[in-house]
Amino acid sequence: MEKLPKLTMDELNQKISSGNYVLFFTATWCGDCRFIKPFMPEIEADFPEYTFLKIDRDENLDLCQALDVMGIPSFIVYRNGKEAGRFVSKDRKTKEEVENFLKNIK
């Protein structure tokens, strides 16, 4: 999974303008993020149609605010620059919940 540096909304939009992406918002101090982290390689392998991008919430507060990401871990799916779905909350997420979310993206 590629970890994105601090970036602006314009830079993110340019990065995700073409293709299918899952943005994974996380932070080093987040216990619920550490809970899902070991499952991320399996989730990525189960959904090869997506490129997974890890975004550190603390490095990208402005970006999180612009995207209305108030809780972590959170996931936002983009297809060709357009948001296709989001699983955004402050709650712990299980591997099954993340996979069900990704399976149900229209």
| pLDDT score of 90 more than 90 | no
Query: Using one digit for the tens of pLDDT, what is the confidence trace for 5-51?
Result: 999 999 999 999 999 999 999 999 999 999 999 999 999 999 999 99
Give the count of domains, the chain: 1
| pLDDT score of 103 more than 80 | yes
pLDDT at position 101, please?
A: 95
Owning domain of residue 55: 2-104
Cis peptide before 73 (omega within 30 of 0): yes
CATH number at residue 48: 3.40.30.10
Global confidence as pTM: 0.92
Catalytic residues: 30, 33
